[in-house]
Structure 1
């Protein structure tokens, strides 16, 4: 959620080309013959377009590709789909190649999995009594739909923890985003009027920057 790192990849591509042509030098004596019959040219069929659908989803990751899942699970959890989509954009800063995530988890003491960057305690708490209760946190890197479903219900649970008497410093969706990033306890503190710290403010600034883009993504 709040962790950030860079991923540097270096590639080298080498190609060689060989071509040859030949002429056997033969000739043909001219032959007197009737004028050739001119036939109409036959148009050739266009070459088939190569399909790129075999590429894995994480090679060209954009949260907009999962707009249908965002709408579906936001509706089920009773949260704003634009908020859920904006959070996915906030969490898209790192590569979501499942192999990369698992390798990083070997050196990170508190890794986050899936396109919503969810930590294991949050996932295990959220799944209780839910349709995905039998799923495991370790499945999140391979299943974007599961990651979106879990994030939606986690936001639902955070909303339940908001105090009824709140200061007007942050709107409800802003508080839920802060809770997603900084935890439910901090969210409640912010709800009572405490200003968010630098890291949480940065997360909120990115959310604002992704807000209009999220609305457009949900139209797809």
Structure 2
């Protein structure tokens, strides 16, 4: 799997903390995942996953308000709802927390965007370990990981074998592909010129990254 290693201009990216992460806006339509590009770069490097994939997931998960107050109201209306700018459900978070020794709580995802981005990156890392090296050619490895983030590990492995995704997973994949250039531009703004993610702005996504089959 090809990874983007991205450093901020002038040196390696520094750890991004809670104070560096802006609170998502209360105003509808004012949220832009690109505002979290430095966090995405750092968390992706730390977890060993693609920054472009992680940013794509944030764009795909931007369909609902992420201000902490609005997420509290959303959770009151829909108790099984997910938390944080990466929309992580409690069961998934608990798996990540136990696997990586995280000290934060699921509820902290709602109030701490940096923690939410880090948890999402670690979850993608776990999915990558569980995805077979060989998979059908119609999806890149990162696309399968994004589908796993959305539909779960079991479905991800089925898609990798060639089982057709359902309507919701197909919609998720279409949005991921549609957001690719936007995600790449946001990362290029903090990565500087002539980096893998900068070149991704004008490069089509690979369709057979370590793939096999139809």
TMscore range, shorter length: 0.7 to 0.9
Q: Distance in 2 between matches of 1:67 and 1:109?
A: 30
1:99 Cα deviation after fit: 1.3
Structure 2 residue 172 is matched with structure 1 residue 203 = yes
> Which among 127, 145, 156 is matched to residue 97 of structure 2?
127
Q: Return the structure number with greater helix share.
A: 2
Q: Distance in 2 between matches of 1:126 and 1:147?
A: 11
The root-mean-square deviation of aligned C-alpha atoms, in Å, is 1.5
Q: Distance in 2 between matches of 1:143 and 1:124?
A: 16
Q: Distance in 2 between matches of 1:176 and 1:82?
A: 12
1:83 Cα deviation after fit: 0.6
Where does residue 117 of structure 1 map in the other structure?
Answer: 87
The structure whose Rg is larger is: 1
The list of structure 1 runs, each at least 4 consecutive aligned residues, that deviate by more than 4 angstroms after superposition, is none
Q: Which runs of 5+ in 2 are unaligned?
A: 1-21, 190-214
Q: Distance in 2 between matches of 1:185 and 1:58?
A: 35
Structure 2 residue 50 is matched with structure 1 residue 80 = yes
Structure 2 residue 33 is matched with structure 1 residue 66 = no
Partner-residue secondary structure (3-state), 1:65: helix
Tell me: CA distance 1:83–1:66, structure 2 relative to 1, closer, same or farther (3 Å). same
TM-score by length of 2: 0.73
Q: Which runs of 5+ in 1 are unaligned?
A: 1-54
Partner-residue secondary structure (3-state), 2:58: helix
**Number of residue-to-residue matches in the alignment:** 165
Structure 2 residue 188 is matched with structure 1 residue 219 = yes
1:186 Cα deviation after fit: 0.2
Contact persistence 2:23–2:67 (CA under 8 A): no
